[in-house]
Chains A and B, each alone.
Chain A
Amino acid sequence: MKTNILKFFGSLALLFAFVISSVTANAGTKDDVTKKGSLNCGVSQGVPGFSNADASGKWTGIDVDMCRAVAAAVFGDANKVKYQPLSAKDRFEVLKSGQIDMLARNTTWTLSRDAGLALEFVGTNFYDGQGFIVRKAAKINSAKKLNNVKVCVETGTTTELNLRDYFKANNLKYEAVAFTKADEAVAAYDAGRCDVYTTDKSGLAAQRTKMKNPAEHTVLPETISKEPLGPVVRGDDQNWKDIASWSLYVMIEAEELGVSSKNIDSMKSTDNPNIKRLLGLEGDTGKSLGLAPEWAYNIIKQVGNYGEVYEKNVGANTPIGLARSGSPNQLWTKGGILYAPPVR
């Protein structure tokens, strides 16, 4: 009898061990990623222009290109990425637990997230701000005139908190109708459950394409918050953070230097030392990052410079249609605030 009991508890312990056994040591993210042979990248559950899958399962968007850039830097192949769609609620937990190597999910850079969650924001790949969309039939042209309205919002986001601050500051009455998924909030607004839908302005433009009749809606001019969106990595791996940061910076630098995916091969014969360094022809920028010398070349060749990425995904000629000129997402030399530290 005793042995039976021991056997029973022994098997319980075995079961327990099995559950715990899927342990992944967290040595260096870059080494882990190289060993796995692909980059696990957390993206949104579908925000057109940022990260969105089409019917065949192919992901596109400005955040997706960020993942591709890092993959290009590490592997020399931008396609070695596995995408994991995440809700706003889950994203940080999933990153912290190591299920993904990088989070590129239109995430706002805030102090509490950066310092409080022990995460590291690698930079800003899109400067955004929260806005409102209303039906044209509402005949409202300013957010200041929104009073006694019902506002659809995604729960668990900074959007929800900004919304309250704005209405309170302007002494306006409103009712927040919160949903766990952005899609549901948009559908609710579209069905008339709310008078207003609020999220980042890029999101408004993107979600508008998902409405029954996009032309019936208008985005109000006010921007009620600063939303610098950027990729995030875990805070315990400085090298990995640098790789992600500089993958973004070289795309901005390339645009500033006039290097694009189309002319990059002809640029190899240039005399400009900045471009030579960027392409890995002079000095070795990859060495200190632990990457191949042509890492930046791979990013620009396979993904493109920042301008190309922007125009391809959210630019004026896409369904999202966010004009770049006059927005903060313009190079510092052209009146925007995109500014990459020197690549040298």
Chain B
Amino acid sequence: MLRIEEIKNSVKKNLRLGNLIPQLLLLFTFVFIIYYFTSNAQTNMASRNISSGFDFLKTNSGFDVQFSLIDYDGSYSFGRAYLVGLLNTLLVSSFGIVFATILGFLVGVARLSNNFLLSKLSQLYVEILRNLPLILQIFFWYFVVLRNLPSTENSFIFLDFLIVNVQGAYFPKFIFTNFNAIFYGLVCAILAIFLARYYSKKLIYERGKSLPVFKISILCLILFTTIFALIGNTDLQLKRAELIQNFGIFNYVGGVKLVPEFLALLFALSLYTSTFIAENVRAGILSVGKGQKEASKSLGFNNSQSLKLIIIPQALRVIIPPTTNQYLNLLKNSSLAAGIGYPDLASVFAGTALSQTGKAIEIIFIVMLTYLSISLIISAFLNWYNHKIAFVEK
């Protein structure tokens, strides 16, 4: 009854003239702007003989891309080119998020270190890198650092494993035979770890004793995979990049290749974002009251236990929400790839494909929608996660 009453009230309220007019006006203006733009766009496209619509996604793109995770060349479609760009964006963003998180945690903790020099140095790191435009940092890494690496024939070679030159960095490809054995080993190890965790939880509740779960987990992982690998006759081969000479031109072929555009973008994104994460981590740790630490000490926890069980879980609640924002920023900032020609979504699709087709409206629309949906998906997921940890803690 009450709810119906409420709804009635709110409907009445909205139907009042003073409230109705602005809403209708807004709606009308919005619809009018949309109509105005679309009708102009249609006449403009018609006068330029550009067909509108998304049919072009199926036609051959005709251009090549230097770095792609999936098979692609000019004989594939524009739709495929979109996919190449999207995957490259996700690749550099996910690597960037991992590195930025690790670096950010290290620097954030270092800023709170008792060591005067270390904390000041980390502060300097944060203040400098945070205050410089990201695009400048990308240019610095690309045009100054990576451009001055030696030529192919004079590459740096580290331990016969990593090859670095002006054309990129090459790692060997890992080639497993009978990989299945290792996979099953991993599955068993994970099962064993879950079992151990369950048992240790039970142990804590029943007898108040704890198991070194982390050490057991690592042991399980190593043990199971090696045993299974030995039984299953798994073999690992490194396929290194080989230097090929064609007259006076030297090129490395094979292996896993990382182009300098990717590396420059990755370095710049990780370092830049790490400074913001470091600040979040610092604020998070500082937000945990001193009393908590003292209380955990008086309960007999040692340093690592109190950090793991008391400080970090509470700090994480403060750290995670702003860090989520930084992850989203990193994803959006990865579009700066267009500045150095790393073939991400913005540069392959909103750059090359746009100028080859002239379909500005469709392409910009697709690109914006893609970024928007990734952002919304990530933030929805992390909201859900935030909610979960917040709930559990209370």
Indicate whether A and B are direct neighbours in the complex (CB within 8 Å).
yes
Whole-angstrom distance between the Cβ of B27 and the nearest chain A Cβ: 12
Report, as a range, how many residues of chain A touch the other chain.
35 or more
Question: Is A326 engaged at the interface, CB distance under 8 Å to the other chain?
Answer: no
Q: Which residues of B contact A155 (CB under 8 A)?
A: 63, 341, 351-352, 355
8 Å CB contact of A138 from B64, B244, B249, B253? B249
Question: Is A178 engaged at the interface, CB distance under 8 Å to the other chain?
Answer: yes
Q: Check A115 against B74 for contact (C-beta < 8 Å).
A: no
8 Å CB contact of A160 from B63, B247, B248? B63
Name the residue of chain A whose CB is nearest to the CB of B251.
A148
Q: Check B352 against A178 for contact (C-beta < 8 Å).
A: yes
* Interface set of A (CB-CB < 8 Å, partner B): 1-2, 5, 9, 12, 88-89, 92-93, 96, 115-118, 134-135, 137-140, 145-150, 155-156, 160-161, 163-164, 168, 174-180, 184, 188, 191-195
Cα–Cα distance between A175 and B73 once the two chains are bound (Å): 10
Whole-angstrom distance between the Cβ of A194 and the nearest chain B Cβ: 8
Cα–Cα distance between A116 and B356 once the two chains are bound (Å): 12
Cα–Cα distance between A89 and B244 once the two chains are bound (Å): 36
Report, nearest first, the 9 A-B pairs whose CB atoms are least far apart.
Answer: A156-B355, A138-B248, A139-B248, A176-B64, A89-B355, A164-B74, A139-B247, A192-B166, A192-B151
> Which of B73, B148, B356 gathers the greatest number of chain A CB atoms within 10 Å?
B356
Q: Check B48 against A117 for contact (C-beta < 8 Å).
A: yes
Cα–Cα distance between A88 and B351 once the two chains are bound (Å): 11
- Contact (A176, B351) CB under 8 Å given A138-B247, A149-B249, A192-B166: no
- Contact (A164, B64) CB under 8 Å given A88-B355, A147-B246, A193-B147: yes
Q: Which residues of B contact A193 (CB under 8 A)?
A: 147, 166-167, 260
Question: Is B25 engaged at the interface, CB distance under 8 Å to the other chain?
Answer: yes
Cα–Cα distance between A175 and B347 once the two chains are bound (Å): 17
Whole-angstrom distance between the Cβ of B310 and the nearest chain A Cβ: 52
- Contact (A116, B73) CB under 8 Å given A139-B247, A145-B246, A147-B246: no
Question: Is B29 engaged at the interface, CB distance under 8 Å to the other chain?
Answer: yes
B 173-187 binary contact with A (CB < 8 Å = 1; else 0): 000000000000000
Whole-angstrom distance between the Cβ of A322 and the nearest chain B Cβ: 26
Name the residue of chain A whose CB is nearest to the CB of B150.
A192
Within 8 A of A (CB), among B228-281: 244, 246-249, 251, 253, 259-260
> Which of B18, B65, B251, B347 gathers the greatest number of chain A CB atoms within 10 Å?
B251
Q: Check A118 against B49 for contact (C-beta < 8 Å).
A: yes
Given A164-B73, A180-B347, 11 more pairs with CB closer than 8 A: A9-B25, A96-B48, A115-B49, A145-B247, A148-B253, A150-B251, A155-B63, A160-B352, A164-B63, A164-B74, A192-B151
Q: Check B341 against A180 for contact (C-beta < 8 Å).
A: yes
8 Å CB contact of A156 from B73, B167, B351? B351
Question: Is B386 engaged at the interface, CB distance under 8 Å to the other chain?
Answer: no
